[in-house]
Amino acid sequence: MNRNSRIYVAGHKGMVGSALLRRLASSGYDHVITASRQSLDLLDQRAVMDFFAREHIDVVLLAAAKVGGIHANSTQPASFLYENLVIETNVIHAAFKSHTQKLVFFGSSCIYPKLCPQPIKEDYLLTSALEQTNEAYAISKIAGHKLCEAYNKQYGTRFISVMPTNLYGPNDNYDLQGSHVLAALIRKAHEAKLNGLESLPVWGSGSPRREFLHVDDLASAVLVLLSNDLVEGMFNVGYGKDIAIADLARLICDVVGFSGSLRFDSSKPDGTPRKLLDVSKLAALGWAPTITLREGIASTYADFENDVQRTGLASA
């Protein structure tokens, strides 16, 4: 990839896509292509094929997806499976047909088995059963990765996959019916402080351990991968350390300024006991994260407060 490459960021308005735009702009890439959902429906195969034929794309960053937390995954499995399968199939096939030079497919750490050895290596994929609460989403992302592998094998394409750990940062989703745990806790802590509550509800027991990566660190990892002459492969992208959900909630409360107690709801599912990625493959290429969890939460909360002031997302 060079500074004149025509780079299509699919899903540019989402958390990952917008981070990619920021990173590309700061790194001097001027030929970045985007398309809103209104102008290009990625579920429409003919529209996607026509778009690729018209735009002469060199590099695809496939960050478009239907995403959500445990509640959304548990209650909308058909939507998560169908929409993600169709989006990735349409874009990957169109990239092949239009002779796109490179493609990066964005998966998720939830593709790995529920009871994986820790830290999780890329080789652990498909070695045992998945976590039931997000199985549909995981299967769709496994299929996307395998589709990249299949096109590489059959047609000689140069498509790679990245499997990020739990992400957070600007443009996250704070809707409590569809958000991931860190964004949900930021909103809950903010509203608890605003309303003078004595306690903060936390889903599950608080014992599961999760790894969190600021989305800007993911964007930097993608540029490292693209700067290397990679033909194929799957790469974990993570921070290298995990934290118990209970400790995460306490850290968020400290950053937000909520001094009440935590109230754990053990009737809600915990999900996978632990997810910590082995990032040695990516580290060998020279990448390392730079944003600490506390720093990242603080900047994310500031972004959330700006959203509240602009849209009235949360109020007393």
Q: Which amino acid is at 220?
A: S
- Is 168 tagged catalytic? no
**Which residues, 6+ apart, have CB-to-CB distance to 279 below 8 Å?**
236, 237, 238, 240
Range of the domain at 141: 7-311
Residue 216 — φ and ψ, nearest 5°?
Answer: -70, -30
Does 12 carry a binding-site annotation?
yes
CATH number at residue 13: 3.40.50.720
Asked, for residue 2, whether it belongs to a domain, the answer is no
* Cβ contact 132:75 at 8 Å: no
pLDDT in tens, 168-192: 999 998 988 778 899 999 999 999 9
The pTM of this model reads 0.94
* Type of residue at 156: G
13 is in an annotated binding site: yes
Tens digits of pLDDT across the chain (316 residues): 788 999 999 999 999 999 999 999 999 999 999 999 999 999 999 999 999 999 999 999 999 999 887 788 889 999 999 999 999 999 999 999 999 999 999 999 999 999 999 999 999 999 999 999 889 999 999 999 999 999 999 999 999 999 999 999 999 989 887 788 999 999 999 999 999 999 999 989 999 999 999 999 999 999 999 999 898 999 999 999 999 999 999 999 999 999 999 999 989 888 888 999 999 999 999 999 999 999 999 999 999 999 888 776 654 3
Q: What is the pLDDT of residues 128-145, one digit of tens each?
A: 999 998 899 999 999 999
Report how many domains make up the chain. 1
Domain membership of residue 88 (yes or no) is: yes
The reply to whether 176 falls in a domain is yes
166 annotated to bind ligand? yes
| Per annotation, catalytic residue among 29, 137, 168, 239 | 137
